[in-house]
């Protein structure tokens, strides 16, 4: 059926049909149709909503996000037909039955995900059955390759190309802002694509946005990397491994992170940017994705195996994940902390040490340092100011202001210092609670929101000493975050006497006790 | 945040926020909010779409389906807040991990489904993990009870109350139209709630709609049953076990029918209408949900067990499911066939036999006939015309025209007779293809669409004899259905010589063969 387009200002995917046209087409609200742009031949699949007044008969309302892909103009004609059932549903069903999927079957599922031929519910089904029945190493390889093949790729003609990845779970992990300029300062290329936070207080892309734009096409990423040596961009804007975001978002409600999908997600992005060597940071800790060293080693082996199959040299570092890296949590606070180190600050040491270790692994893999000497080279590049210079090149090439310094980074104008209510020691920081509080304060969308930890575990505090400062861009958010902090108590301060075990025996007054003796 | 309502004529669930209000509230398109009707205190959870022009700041656009529940008027104020993460997501996660769910956990999941606190993707996750990890009999009981408790119920003060159910998968299964009036004619009450077709050519509710309205509240269903002895209504309109429809729709893309959920779905509806005795029809056949007699017996045992636990007497019949029941497929065609039998027609026999057997089981369970004598009583009630009289009472009480006769049922005005292209026997009917063709022709939404089978398996045909007649309400649908029929060939006609196996040996002219002998 041919219909005339009416662009509808609703920020969502979807199309709006007049009831009568829906009836003629034989579709109901919620059914899926295929819409073809007649000038380009490009088609998208989308869900129908119906109306009897907002759209006239003969017209097709197209919502904003759908038209970002379809690219039609008001009044233009499009062809609309009922969507066929995607064959990949049968492959998802097969996985539900516990069978292994072939490379072709996985490719079809990923292709349908990328082309929006599968609904969010249908992608959820794929996620859940992969989670329950697991993906074996061949399936992970297929998934990785399919994610690469269904998106854009970078092709550099020099090498080696370096990449790094942290699998997440630990707050304040801004090491990308040190590792990328260090690698670039060593004369290597590092086209780093990053994510935005889903559950965290800020992904590297959210952080970089404090300094410069982060949305670029794959071709732009390639050109910028060639010029500046490195970039820090948002992967979601590049069309690199575009299936990944659509899969991850379905895992979020259940707080699951299917190992095979995580490996494929990471490795597909590395492969698609043309990486030759990859350093992977696996934080281990009770609130991290990986809870023990043996578990971390097993995961590392899988990363290395997939790397080998795809021709990438991978090395993994298991890192301490029980406390935040550095002291800052939230985009502007973290960027300020990282910039200060590039400018020469010697603290926080945890951040410097972790960043140079990970950068060191990459430098060794890329042949810039002998085994065991990479982190020293990384520290040199940092101390010499070469990494700071590269960071400014990167900020400039992405369109930011290279004159920025850590002092100029703008934090939220509303803040409150949370103080110790008693003398004692900081005995525990709860990572999850810290992240929750930062999010309530507005992070990552309000860049200036977050918290700065004054007292890390082991610190001796007197009553009234600052524990952490909470920042927000809006007053009501600061108040709400403070309320949350009061409930969650993310930092536990205890005296040396941590508990008192009472004697349960019956107590008698001395007279009675001594009765008969005296 | 308080916002003024603007009703939006879009037939979907959802709310539309101005971008600025979304930002203040801290929500993005796709996030979930809770909207509270300030006059009634009633709340619903819904997904946000945003706009910068369609809705003014300070207003909240509410789509049609959302307001069916919320019941607010244009201009009224509502309270909008960000939705919390439903705790039932953790229970779904637990089931993913292969653990058993308690009654309270299942109750919470079902409650969140009914209140739209779980998204379609989240319900899919529950469906898939229940499918892969199975529900045990305790979980099925919990699911059944939870579905009952989260909806409306009927309470009759006389008894026994009868119900029947066919688990589906066989086309043309219009036995409800004979069983319900027969049971009512025996002086029993049978408040039959039915479904609309999801994958079939017509559910009983679609069929009944040819004769009378089918959408009533639970209270109306109860009153009508007390007056007429029986009803045939659409369960979806009653708010009886409302979780069920929302669960089933998520199974549809994968063509799965999780056994535990199916049992709970059936038994919850029976329990909620107050049934004391239930006859369940389990078609067995290669294209049915149940493929073998042992499988059918196992399923029957589960139905009986859940019935026992809930205090309902259940009996199951395994029935022949490899061919359509009767000859008609599609709402009007099926109703016409059933009415003709009520009026005294002696064919098709398969339909009469199946209906009286199932009705007979119910009559025996209800104490109206001795064991083994129920079907004879059912046949008596049919032949005597008492069932026809009851059917007219039922049509009348539901607001239809009781003067209707089989001759007056209106079929699609466009039809085409598909004829045998050669002499031979009907060797096979493909149920799935027949249903597909009926759906392409417009069934179940176009009531007059469908097909009538002249030649069932075993029939001897001459070239040009009619095989089936295809009906449609619209010419283009008839043409499309004919095209589909040509591709699918749902009825296979073969000569007695069904195939010819050629001799593959090399053939030599006789002269050469006899060479050297002659």
3-state SS string over B48-84? EEEECCCCCCCEEEEEHHHHHHHCCCCCCEEEEEECC
Distance of alpha carbon B82 from alpha carbon B79, whole angstroms: 10
Catalytically active residues of B are 257
Q: What is the domain extent for residue A109? A: 88-134
What is the tally of structural domains in chain B? 4
Mean pLDDT for the stretch of residues A395-417: 97
The answer to ipTM > 0.90 is no
- Å from A180 to nearest chain B CA? 31
Question: Do residues A11 and A63 share a domain?
Answer: yes
Tell me what pLDDT residue B515 has. Answer: 46
The whole-chain average pLDDT of chain A stands at 90
Q: How far is A286 from chain B (nearest CA, A)?
A: 19
C-beta atoms of B253 and A11 within 8 A: no
Instruction: From B328, B325, B332, B330, select the one nearest B356 (Cα to Cα).
Output: B325
Give yes or no for B256 touching A (CB within 8 A). yes
Chain A residue nearest residue B30, CA to CA:
A12
Q: Tell me, yes or no, whether A396 lies in a domain.
A: yes
Whether A444 and A386 share a structural domain: no
pLDDT at A511: 47
d(CA A14, CA A49) in angstroms, rounded, equals 7
The pLDDT, as a whole number, for residue B492 is 77
- Pinpoint the alpha helices (H) of B134-258: 137-149, 176-185, 204-208, 218-228, 243-251
| Residues in chain A closer than 8 A to B124 (CB atoms) | 121-122, 124-125, 128
Percent of all residues in chain A with a pLDDT value above 70, rounded to a whole number:
95
pLDDT band for position A288 (cuts 50, 70, 90): confident
Task: Read off the CATH number of the domain in which A490 is found.
Answer: 3.90.1170.30
Task: Tell me the mean pLDDT in the region A422-446.
Answer: 87
State how far the Cα of B98 lies from the Cα of B139, in Å rounded to an integer.
13
- Picking from A12, A49, A89, the nearest residue to B254 by CB comes out as A89
- Is B437 inside a domain boundary? yes
Contact between chains at A29 and B11 (C-beta distance less than 8 A): yes
In a domain, A503, yes or no: no
Same domain, B335 and B446: no
Task: Quote the pLDDT of residue B150.
Answer: 96
Q: What is the pLDDT of residue B497?
A: 57
Say whether residue A344 is in contact with chain B using an 8 A CB cutoff.
Answer: no
Which of A373, A406, A439 lies at the terminal end of a domain, its last residue? A406
Q: What are phi and psi of A462, to 5 degrees?
A: -100, 155
| Contact state of B125 with A129 under an 8 Å Cβ cutoff | no
Residue B431 sits in the same domain as residue B480: yes
Could you tell me if A96 lies within 8 Å of chain B, comparing CB atoms? yes
Flag residues of chain B having pLDDT under 70.
Answer: 495-518
Residue A497 has a pLDDT of: 57
Domain harbouring B75, CATH code? 2.40.40.20
Tell whether A345 and A219 lie within a shared domain: yes
pLDDT of residue B395: 98
Say if A356 falls within a structural domain.
yes
Same domain, B63 and B200: no
Q: Which residue has the higher pLDDT, B13 or A308?
A: A308
Residues A179 and A264 in one domain: yes
**Residue A212, domain CATH:** 3.40.1030.10
Determine whether the annotation assigns residue A450 to a binding site.
Answer: no
Residue A341 clears pLDDT 50, i.e. is over it: yes
Calpha distance A143→A131 (Å, rounded): 14
In a domain, B78, yes or no: yes
Q: Rounded mean pLDDT of A416-444?
A: 88
Pair B68, B191 in one domain: no
Q: How far is B448 from chain A (nearest CA, A)?
A: 15
Same domain, A269 and A325: yes
Q: What pLDDT was estimated at residue A508?
A: 52
Q: Answer yes or no: are the C-beta atoms of A369 and A377 closer than 8 Å.
A: yes
If asked whether residues B122 and B37 sit together in one domain, one would say no
- Position B313 scores a pLDDT of 94
The residues of A annotated with a catalytic role in the active site are 257
pLDDT in the model for residue A496? 57
| Cβ contact B11–A119 (<8 Å) | no
Give chain B positions within 8 Å (CB) of A51: 9-11
Residue B257 lies in a domain: no
Residue A457 maps to a domain: yes
Domain check: are A208 and A228 in the same one? yes
Both tokens of A188, joined, read 């290597």
The last residue of one of the domains, among A406, A433, A466, is A406
Is B254 in contact with A93 (Cβ distance < 8 A)?
A: yes
CA of B128, closest CA in chain A: separation in Å?
A: 6
pLDDT at B516: 42
Q: What is the C-alpha R_g of chain B? A: 27
Residues B311 and B170 both lie in one domain: yes
For residue A513, is it within any domain?
A: no
**Rounded Cα gap, residues A18 and A49, in angstroms:** 9
* Interface contact A248, partner B, CB < 8 A: no
């Amino acid at each position: 059926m041919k219909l005339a387009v009416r662009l509808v200002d609703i920020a969502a995917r979807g199309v709006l049909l007049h009831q009568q046209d829906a009836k003629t087409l034989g579709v109901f609200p919620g059914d899926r149709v295929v819409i073809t742009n007649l000038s380009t031949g490009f088609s998208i699949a989308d869900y129908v909503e119906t109306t009897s007044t907002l759209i006239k008969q003969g017209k097709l309302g197209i919502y904003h996000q759908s038209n970002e892909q379809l690219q039609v103009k008001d009044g233009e004609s499009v062809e609309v037909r009922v969507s066929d059932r995607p064959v990949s549903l049968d492959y998802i069903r097969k996985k539900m039955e516990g069978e292994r999927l072939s490379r072709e079957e996985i490719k079809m599922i990923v292709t349908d995900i990328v082309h929006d031929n599968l609904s969010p519910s249908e992608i959820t089904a794929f996620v859940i059955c992969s989670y329950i029945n697991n993906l074996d190493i061949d399936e992970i390889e297929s998934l990785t390759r399919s994610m690469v093949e269904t998106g854009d790729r970078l092709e550099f003609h020099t090498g080696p190309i370096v990449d790094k990845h942290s699998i997440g779970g630990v707050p304040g992990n801004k090491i990308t802002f040190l590792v990328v300029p260090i690698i670039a300062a060593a004369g290597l290329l590092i086209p780093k694509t990053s994510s935005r936070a889903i559950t965290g207080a800020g992904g590297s892309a959210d952080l970089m946005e404090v300094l410069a734009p982060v949305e670029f096409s794959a071709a732009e990423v390639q050109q910028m990397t060639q010029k500046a040596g490195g970039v820090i961009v948002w992967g979601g804007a590049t069309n690199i491994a575009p299936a990944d975001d659509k899969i991850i978002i379905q895992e979020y409600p259940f707080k699951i992170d299917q190992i095979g999908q995580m490996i494929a997600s990471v490795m597909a992005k590395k492969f698609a940017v043309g990486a030759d060597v990859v350093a992977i940071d696996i934080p281990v800790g009770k609130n991290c994705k990986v809870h023990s060293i043996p578990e971390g080693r097993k995961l590392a082996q899988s990363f290395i195996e997939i790397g080998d199959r795809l021709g990438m040299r991978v090395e993994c570092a298991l890192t301490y994940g029980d406390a935040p890296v550095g002291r800052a949590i939230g985009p502007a606070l973290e960027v300020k902390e990282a910039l200060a180190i590039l400018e020469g600050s010697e603290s926080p040491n945890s951040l410097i040490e972790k960043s140079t270790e990970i950068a060191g692994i990459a430098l060794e893999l890329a042949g810039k340092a002998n085994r065991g000497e990479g982190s020293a080279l990384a520290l040199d590049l940092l101390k010499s100011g070469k990494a700071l210079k590269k960071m400014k090149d990167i900020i400039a090439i992405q369109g930011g202001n290279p004159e920025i310094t850590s002092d100029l980074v703008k934090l939220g104008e509303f803040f409150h210092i949370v103080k110790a209510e008693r003398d004692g020691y900081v005995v525990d920081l709860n990572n999850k609670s810290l992240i929750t509080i930062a999010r309530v304060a507005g992070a990552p969308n309000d860049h200036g929101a977050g918290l700065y930890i004054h007292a890390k575990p082991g610190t001796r505090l007197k009553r009234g000493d600052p524990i952490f400062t909470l920042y927000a861009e809006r007053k009501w958010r600061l108040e709400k975050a403070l309320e949350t902090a009061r409930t969650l108590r993310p930092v536990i301060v205890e005296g040396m006497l941590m508990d008192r075990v009472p004697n349960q025996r019956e107590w008698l007054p001395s007279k009675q006790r001594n009765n008969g003796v005296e």
